[in-house]
Structure 1
Amino acid sequence: MDALLKGEQALLGAVLLDPAQLDTLSWLEPHDFYRPAHQALFAAMRTHSAKERPTREADGTVPMSWLTGTVAEAGRRVRGLSASYAHTLIAACPRPKNAPVYGRMVLEGSIHRTVTEHAVRLEHVARVEAEQQQVDGVLHHADVLAGVLGDLARRWGTEPRPLAPPPATTGLAQPVPSPTVPAQAEDEQFLLAVLVSQPAAMAEVYDWLRPGDFAEPGHGQVYRCLGSLHHRSEPIDEVTALWEVQRRGLLADGTLSHEHLGNVFGGPGAGSAEWLGDRVIRSSVVRTAAVAATTIRSLAENEAMAPGRLIGQALHALGPLDEVRARWRTANGLPSPAPAEADPLERSAPAARVRAALSRSSTRQSAAQDARPTVGFPRSGTTTTSRSRTSPSHHPRSTS
């Protein structure tokens, strides 16, 4: 039994039984529904309701024209819809007054799907462009993902701010780093050889290149040793570099081997450290984006993850990419982006979050008010239900 499918059906059934529930669902969009037929039905409900709001009869029934008109309007968008399926939706709704809660379920499913979609797209672009070391496309899709997370946070009624995951997260697939492209390993090896052979070369990359930017862990450790010598203003050559490597125990613990060091120190020492360093940090940007996308996709595919926590942890996963992007901009002499001004939606966030919390569930009603309305004809013993008093035009929020 699919809980999300049941939630979509119950929501649509609630609106068919009580069109006034649309007032409490203005924060929900047709694309939030998973099934195309449900998208078409909800869009038709909004269109039909905007033209002429159906009202209940004195006996509590809803005009049959509301059901038939909605199905006819939705049938222009998708095929296969019939009045029988509308009755199936009505039967799937236990309580029409619970429409805001059903809508929250629909929005929660939409958030998970949307984050998954954009994370998969970023992951694909990063994998494709890893060999070409093109960062513009990767950064564009990362910015799109960050923007989507911000929009989803506002719709859910929470602040779009990073949230660190718990120390021990179980049940989630760990991101697998992208395999090192041979050209990347060669660039890193050539760069290290240039840094050892040219005493002044380290100053060209020291301010923005970090050991973690190297795809090969061994290359990163060698760069760390060279950086330590540079920081202490000690000379850098094959002898001092080998001594620093040995002092750190990198040969004893197997992190590096003499053969590996021979390939680095014995390589060609001619070239531009700044140019080679730029290629290394470009690879780091793409690789970091791929890891972030994999992490976010894993979070979004976890159905137990609350939307607020999903958005916060996804923004946290993008943090390392922002850091390496800033250093890449420094390496290329690009100015730092100007901080974006807060838009009106962000300025009104506290009030929106309060309203969102109020619309998470419907108001308690008496037993007489909780009676289930009918379409076209009254049930015996059915009394007229009052219009839901849930605060209109607000989106739901779940505790995270």
Structure 2
Amino acid sequence: MPPTPDPVEDDLDTLPPPPPVFHAEQALLGALLIEPHRAAGLTGISFEAFSTAAHPALFAAIRSLPAPEPAEHAKTTTWLNRVLTAAGEQTRGLTTAYLHHLIQCCPEPRHARAYARIIEAEHSRRLLRDAAHRLIQTTLDTSLPHRVATTLAEAGTLTTVVDDIATRFPTRSGPLSRTPATTPVTTHDEEAGEEERLLLATATARPGSAERMRWLIPGDFLHPLHAGLWQCLTTLTRRGTPIDPVTVLWEAQHHGLVATGTAEPRELLGLLSEPDGCDPEYWGEQILQRSLLTTAHRTGRRIEMLTDDPATTTYQLVVGSRRALADLSAVRVRWHHATTPAPTNNPARNRYSAPPRAGPPPTTAPPAVRITR
């Protein structure tokens, strides 16, 4: 009969080793237990920065109790017992042996600030990862009544987190952030493809609409062929060339959309000759909205991948996150232009353009002029 495995030993064997920040937490707490007066110099760290339940309880207890006299603290364990009692009210399982273990884990109490800085940096990484994850989930939540507005609000929260990290960890010279290797995802969205086809056909039928839709760029399109045709439309608009399905087809040939075999000429003519009754700007806003949500999702993923790489420094996290957010900001500006109503320009009245208005006729005769000799 095979031996029965011990479930306790099996569970311990499957646990991953603690990360480096865990040892920094132990070293900091050990430093404060050895020299409690050093807690007064730690102003940028809070108990939320710790990764386990026992460590924030101990840190809060150390900060709440007045530091003992160094000479008295070296002789007795009175203050350590008070710390253990106060921390035990917040979490269970703390023992005197663990406090002594923390003291032994501290290489040098004078390095308490350096240990705290490590803990702050890792806490910033977790905050950034959580904010990026919330942004990703928001872009995927189709039940939101105001999906774009909520997504942009989450992006603003993520930007605030990045700015806060940059403030607490000033920029220094060093290697720039590494760009995460992302795998391009080919999306087959029939609804998006139909919206793009309707926009191209209606914009071809109403050439003036492309001039008003400068906020829409080829990169917003999901289908490469549709992106190329939109570029053809905007090119013809800038030139002032007459626009119809035939002229767009001729421009498409110059852009390589026909020569490369991407589409047959008859197929392109059919695509451009079936306009819809809706305003082209309506379809343009639908395409831009999808592009904004896609960019926000990609931004969140890039930042999340940066935080998942333990080799990424705090400085690299800030630089990489700001680069990713810059792409989203550019789409956000174009979305603002697309959805903001154009202001009504009332011509200003020129006070000097019209002759002065004549006043009412006099009601009394002018005074007589007396002539004296």
Band the TM-score falls in, shorter-chain normalisation: 0.7 to 0.9
Equivalence for 2:109: 96
Deviation at 1:24?
2.6
Partner of 2:190: 182
- 2-structure distance, mates of 1:334, 1:24: 54
Shift of 1:276: 1.2
Q: Does 27-36 or 180-189 show the bigger shift?
A: 180-189
Describe the SS at the equivalent of 1:243.
Answer: helix
The answer for the alignment partner of 2:71 in structure 1 is: 57
Residues 172-227 of structure 1: CA distance to partner in whole angstroms, max 9, x if unpaired?
Answer: 3316458354322221111111111223222231x211111112222111111111
1:372 alignment counterpart: none
- Say which of 216, 222, 229 aligns to 2:223: 216
1:296-307 equivalent positions in 2, closer than 5 A: 296-307=303-314
Query: In the alignment, what sits opposite 2:299?
Result: 292
Once the two structures are TM-superposed, the CA of residue 149 in structure 1 deviates from its matched residue by: 0.9
Contact 1:198–1:269 (Cα < 8 Å) also in 2: no
Select the structure that is richer in helix.
2
- Helix, strand or coil for the counterpart of 1:77? coil
Q: Which has the higher contact order (CA 8 A, sep 6+)?
A: 1
Name the CA distance, whole Å, in 2 between partners of 1:53 and 1:191.
Answer: 71
State how 1:327-366 maps to structure 2 within 5 Å: 327-333=334-340
Partner of 1:153: 166
Q: 1:320–1:260: structure 2 CA closer, same or farther, 3 Å change rule?
A: farther
- The answer to whether the aligner puts 1:32 opposite 2:49 as a matched pair is yes
Amino acid at match of 1:306: T
Task: Tell which structure's C-alpha radius of gyration is larger.
Answer: 2
Cα deviations across residues 134-154 of structure 1 (Å, max 9, x unaligned)?
Answer: 211110100000001111121
Residue segments in structure 1 that go unaligned for 5+ positions in a row? 336-400
Once residues 112 and 218 of structure 1 are traced to their aligned partners in structure 2, the CA distance between those partners, rounded to angstroms, is 40
Which secondary structure does the structure 2 equivalent of 1:61 belong to?
A: helix
CA 165–53 in structure 1, closer or farther in 2 if over 3 Å, else same: closer
Q: Deviations over 1:222-254 (max 9, x none)?
A: 111111000111111110111111111122334
Aligned to 2:366: none
Aligned partner of 2:131 among 107, 111, 118: 118
Indicate yes or no: 2:35 matched with 1:22: no
Counterpart position of 1:282: 289
Secondary structure of residue in 1 paired with 2:207: coil
Partner of 1:247: 254
Q: Is the 8 A contact 1:55 1:62 kept in 2?
A: no
The SS at the match of 1:253 is coil
TM-score, normalising length: structure 1: 0.75
Q: 1:12 to 1:296 in 2, by over 3 A?
A: same
Question: What is the aligned counterpart of 1:76 among 89, 95, 99?
Answer: 89
Contact 2:155 2:296 in 1 (8 A): yes
Counterpart residue number, 1:196: 204
Deviation at 1:62? 6.4
